[in-house]
Structure 1
Amino acid sequence: MSVISTDDWLYELKTSQKLKDRRDFEELQRTILCSRLLEHFNGGTPHEIQFELQQQGLFRAHEKINIKKLQDQKTWDIVQEEYYYLKKQWNGPNIPIYIFPITQEQTITNKNGVAYPDALFLFIGELEREELKALFAHEYNHVCRLHYLNKSLQEVTLLDSIILEGLAECAVEEIYGSKWLAPWLGDYTLQKMLAIWKDDFVPNIHVQGLHNHVEFLYGGKLPPLIGYCIGYEIVKTSIQKHTAQELLNESSKNILTGSVFPL
């Protein structure tokens, strides 16, 4: 598999919207886009798929989308080229890659992505070439790591989750440079991260299921994005005798053992 020609789907959607009342746009999005994704969502309905992808950044059905701008950026071509390169570098799996415009409600960044074991989704606005490549690399690194772990998303532990993010960020840094790292990775001192790790992460390190890791990754009662920062520091301090590519196929426990974060 490779990059799917979702630009064709998007033009089909725009053409269909011209023939329909605005009230029908949500249903058109489900029919033309989401119904083509059923195989990746374990029996989920187009409505459920639409909701899940919109939570990740998929444009809202009523929003105007500029397909030509994405084509002019060579979005599909750049991702296809980078997919072939990284697949060879990481001995990664064959997966379909779906690219859609990002919602106008996404005001923090102009990009987002989500990785599943058998598919990858990118939600894109106006991006520099290297920024797009780094985004794709982050998400494809997730896919490669999930294939190595060989666990369902319900079986993935909190330790797996934070190292998943740390590996992806370190891979981006290794290939494209620190310019394209997530800006929040420097928000906390190592001492603060070690204290939060001991008090909040260690007692929950074996908790399974990605849905149970949201608080730890994104914050709420815990500081914002603290899990991402801790995951990056775990891998960063473990990587000194390795490369991010070598650690991609190492157990989460061994990566943690090589870091400065005690269990």
Structure 2
Amino acid sequence: MAVIATNEWLEAEIADPVKMCQRAMPDVSDSEDFYHYLKQFGIYQSENKAKETFEKLQKQNVWEKVDKYYQLYRKKWQGPKVDIYIFPLNEANSFFKHGLKGRAGISMPHKIFLFLTEALDEKYWESLFIHEYHHAARMIRNNKSTEDYTLLDSLVFEGLAEQTALLYCGEEYSMSWQKKFTERELRYYWQRYYKPNLTLKKKDRMHDDLLFGRKRIPQMMGYAQGVNLVNGYLDNNKLTVTESLRISSDQLLIENSFIDGKEFK
């Protein structure tokens, strides 16, 4: 397992992203449905723009560089083997291009998908890789079925992954979602929406509404809550990266300065 040569796939069949998904996930019964799922997370849609982005990624040797990140952090964390699939990002989407700083991804046990554009600073790629590899490693270490994940699990996943990327790459390359909201806003939404729904299962539609910020919830509020939960735990506790890969989500609620702080009615 390592970085898969999706550059060769793209060279031959960039016009058929569904075929790319079929090759990456041959066990999925409906590859077109899986492609539509990946579109939510940033995989390319326009063939012409994707060709342009692909050429730039090739010139920057992104496949070789991501493989170096993989070898480095797998050794540092004694991490698991995973397959890594790199595809062009959907740059027509303003949130992916600007809100996420031109990089996006999604992780599964033993598989990571990275959606990238050319980088003026390759540290942005490294930061995304750390975030997604942390997800994959934590999934494998926890050995929990995806259907059994709760909202608390998801918040902790995002908070720990972002904290790890911050540790290695610095704040400039971090998304810092929590800084987009005031402390009062964060505490209000925690008390009103998140705290009562921590046991909500991933299959419940409200789970993603809260995680990504939809309907009455500001965009990416769930990620901000996850970062605050982790920071609140770290105020009173020490946690190494390797420990963060296996610590239970419930443990982060103990001696947590964010949770124990002032509540807003």
Same fold (TM over 0.5): yes
Choose the corresponding residue for 2:234, options 239, 243, 247. 239
Are 2:229 and 2:259, in contact at CA under 8 Å, matched by a contact in 1? Answer: no
User: Which residue number in structure 2 is paired with residue 254 of structure 1?
Assistant: 251
Q: CA deviation at 1:244?
A: 4.9
1:79, 1:136 within 8 Å by CA — same for their partners in 2? yes
Return the alpha-carbon distance in structure 2 between the equivalents of residues 215 and 99 of structure 1: 27
Matched with 1:115 is 107
| Matches of 2:9 and 2:94, distance apart in 1 | 25
* Percent of paired sites with the same residue: 30
> Within the alignment, does 1:5 sit opposite 2:1 as a pair?
no
Residue of structure 2 aligned with 1:222, choices 217, 229, 232: 217
Moved segments of 4+, more than 4 Å: none
2: distance between equivalents of 1:204 and 1:3? Answer: 37
CA deviation after TM superposition for structure 1 residue 254, in Å:
0.7
Specify the SS of the correspondent of 1:126: coil
Gaps of 5+ in 2: 261-265
Deviations 1:197-241 (A, max 9, x none): 122112111011166321112222122211111110111121243
Task: Pick from 30, 49, 67 the counterpart of residue 80 of structure 1.
Answer: 67
The answer (yes or no) to whether the contact 1:134–1:172 under 8 Å persists in 2 is: yes
| Aligned residue number for residue 125 of structure 1 | 117
Shift of 1:56: 1.6
Instruction: Give 1:104 deviation, angstroms.
Output: 2.8
SS, match of residue 115 in structure 2: strand
Structure 2 distance, partners of 1:167, 1:74, is 29
Residue identity opposite 1:70 in structure 2: L
**Is the CA contact 1:247–1:255 (under 8 Å) kept in the aligned structure 2?**
no
Q: Is the 8 A contact 1:38 1:44 kept in 2?
A: no
Aligned partner of 1:60 among 22, 26, 45? 45
Specify the code of the residue in structure 2 equivalent to 1:30: V
CA distance in 2: counterparts of 1:90 and 1:164, whole angstroms: 16
Q: 2:79 aligns with which of 89, 92, 95?
A: 92
What does the per-residue CA deviation read over 1:8-34, in whole Å, with 9 as the maximum and x for residues that have no partner?
0011115xxxxxxxxxx4xx3323x12
Report how far residue 98 of structure 1 moved: 0.1
Q: CA deviation at 1:155?
A: 0.8
Task: Indicate conservation of the 8 Å contact 2:86/2:113, yes or no.
Answer: yes
Instruction: Specify the alignment match of 1:170 in structure 2.
Output: 163
Q: 1:81 to 1:210 in 2, by over 3 A?
A: farther
Secondary structure at the residue paired with 1:99? strand
8 Å contact 1:239–1:247 — kept in the other structure? no
RMSD after superposition = 1.9
1:29 to 17, 35, 44: 17
CA distance in 2, matches of 1:56, 1:228: 15
The Cα shift of 1:142 comes to: 0.7
Distance 1:188 1:59 in 2: 30
More displaced 10-residue stretch of structure 1: 43-52 or 210-219: 210-219
C-alpha separation in 1, matches of 2:150 and 2:55: 41
**Matched residue type, 1:214:** D
